[in-house]
Structure 1
């Protein structure tokens, strides 16, 4: 049971970190209409699979950077709650975005985080 809780916590941490990276990636506003919960869940799962090494400080792959650019921000920001926000290393997220060739918007609010 404790291992399952740790895995869920790690997975949520990954989703949140990657979500912040998405928000910081410049082309973060993609309004195509409301997505269903199932569509958002699928986008987050693809993103997690593509970018999992980023959590372990491995530079993002080309596929990871591509997923960061296409995942919808509304699927991720709702996951960044006051309880989860302190777990995110914003400076590291910014460095990942820069490695993907993107700029970082200042003072953008995503869930409970505002970029510096």
Structure 2
């Protein structure tokens, strides 16, 4: 969901859920539509982003998620 990577890490669904929870906890204020200007992410957010399983999280992006999360800001946070 957050990074373009050159390799795929195989993890369990539980790991993907853990990644998602970490992203929500540390990064949501940087990617929601309501936060109008782009805000540089915190070190904690960057740390979470560097460890997530991107292919797994990309599968969780639905139309409903896209209504709340600004994908332009997601790319900026990366």
- Would the TM-score normalized by the shorter structure come out above 0.5? yes
Is the radius of gyration larger for structure 1 or structure 2?
Answer: 1
| Deviation of 1:89 (Å) | 2.6
Gaps of 5+ in 1: 1-18, 98-116
2:34 aligned with 1:51: no
Q: Which has the higher contact order (CA 8 A, sep 6+)?
A: 2
Gaps of 5+ in 2: none
Match of 1:13 in 2: none
Match of 1:36 in 2: 12
The 3 A distance-change label for structure 1 pair 30 and 93 is same
1:57-116 CA-to-partner distances (Å, cap 9, x unmatched) read 3431011012111101122111123x236524333333333xxxxxxxxxxxxxxxxxxx
The 3 A distance-change label for structure 1 pair 74 and 66 is same
Q: Distance in 1 between matches of 2:16 and 2:61?
A: 14
Q: Distance in 1 between matches of 2:15 and 2:48?
A: 14
Q: Distance in 2 between matches of 1:45 and 1:65?
A: 14
2:72 aligned with 1:91: yes
1:34-77 CA-to-partner distances (Å, cap 9, x unmatched) read x2211111111112111132135343101101211110112211
The 3 A distance-change label for structure 1 pair 86 and 40 is closer
The runs of 4+ residues in structure 1 deviating greater than 6 Å are none
